[in-house]
Amino acid sequence: MLRGFLLIFTLAAIAIVAMAGFRGQHSPRPPWELMPDMVRQPKVRAQAPLGFFADGRGPRLPIDGTEPVGYDIPKPQQNAPPEISPSGAPPGEESAHAPLGFSVGTDYYNTGKMGANWGTGIPVAVTAQLMARGQQRFIINCSVCHGLTAAGNGMAKQFGLATVISLQDERIRKMADGEIFNTITHGKNTMMSYGGNVPVADRWAIITYIRALQRSQNASVNDVPPDQRAKLDQPEPAKK
């Protein structure tokens, strides 16, 4: 009798393991929730669907004829160590402008336009921090297509993005900062707008960095400090 029980017990255990599998196995089955009452509340969550509205979307699109007022992007924390203020506006920028993330303002800072023409110049204090921020954001958002040196040879180009321009072109080097700002905000030709991905402050940081890249790739001997020029003619030291 016990032998019979043991047989059934073993077979049942094998059957359960065979059906339920092991931890970590991939499965398209939604996770089993023991008591879903409070776990799933009928409230709106970011980017989640909601049956309340006819189109089934939780987040709403702006109503026709209305304008978004903008919202505060969190500012870097005061007294934080220097290496950790990656979020929000670059330091020194907050006082000059309202911290609108995706602005609808009409001044140069928000449109790149001075009057009817493209303005030029960086409307925030150009600091090492702004440059570092610009580099980081350029690598994230721009280098995929335009390449790390902005030469128009980014990874996406190798995968079939045909019309990537080089930001080292004479045309772009002479282009007004405001027009570049506008291109980032609204896109141009086959480049789509990045206004929804890159906040205003970051757009100016990126432009600052692009200018630095352009200078780095078009440098002449005059850009080298006089006391360093003698070194240019020396052969490169052998690498260890």
Partner 1 sequence: MANFFPRWSNWLPLKLAVAGFLIVCGLTAGTWYYVTPKYTKVGYEPIQPVPFPHDVHVNQLGMDCRYCHSFVETAAHSNVPNTQTCMACHQQVQKDNPKLEPVRASWKTGQPVEWVWIHRLPDYVFYNHAAHVNRGISCAVCHGQVNHMPAMYDAKPMSMAWCLECHRHPENFLRPEDQITNMDWKPEDVNPAAFVAKYGEPKGVKEDWSKKKHLTQQEIGQTLKERWNIHPSETCQVCHR
* Binding stretches for partner 1 (CB under 8 A): 1-2, 5-6, 9, 12-13, 16, 20, 23-34, 38-41, 43, 45-49, 55, 57, 73-74, 80-81, 83-84, 86-88, 101, 139-141, 144-145, 155-156, 159-163, 190-194, 196-198
How far apart are CB 95 and partner 1 at their closest, in Å?
20
How far apart are CB 5 and partner 1 at their closest, in Å?
5
Q: Looking at beta carbons only, is 20 or 238 nearer to partner 1?
A: 20
Name the one residue in this structure whose structure tokens are 């925030």.
124
Q: Looking at beta carbons only, is 33 or 236 nearer to partner 1?
A: 33
Contacting residues for 134 by C-beta, under 8 A, at least 6 apart: 202, 204, 205, 206, 207, 208, 209, 210, 212
Q: Looking at beta carbons only, is 88 or 119 nearer to partner 1?
A: 88
How far apart are CB 35 and partner 1 at their closest, in Å?
10
Contacting residues for 77 by C-beta, under 8 A, at least 6 apart: 84, 85
Q: Looking at beta carbons only, is 37 or 223 nearer to partner 1?
A: 37
Q: Looking at beta carbons only, is 38 or 238 nearer to partner 1?
A: 38
How far apart are CB 26 and partner 1 at their closest, in Å?
4
Nearest to 113 by CA among 103, 99, 126: 103
Dihedral angle, C-alpha 118, 120, 125, 127, nearest 10 °: 120
Taking the C-alpha atoms of residue 150 and residue 84, their distance in angstroms, rounded to an integer, is: 26
Taking the C-alpha atoms of residue 172 and residue 186, their distance in angstroms, rounded to an integer, is: 16
How far apart are CB 7 and partner 1 at their closest, in Å?
12
Q: What six digits make up the tokens of 221?
A: 């001997």
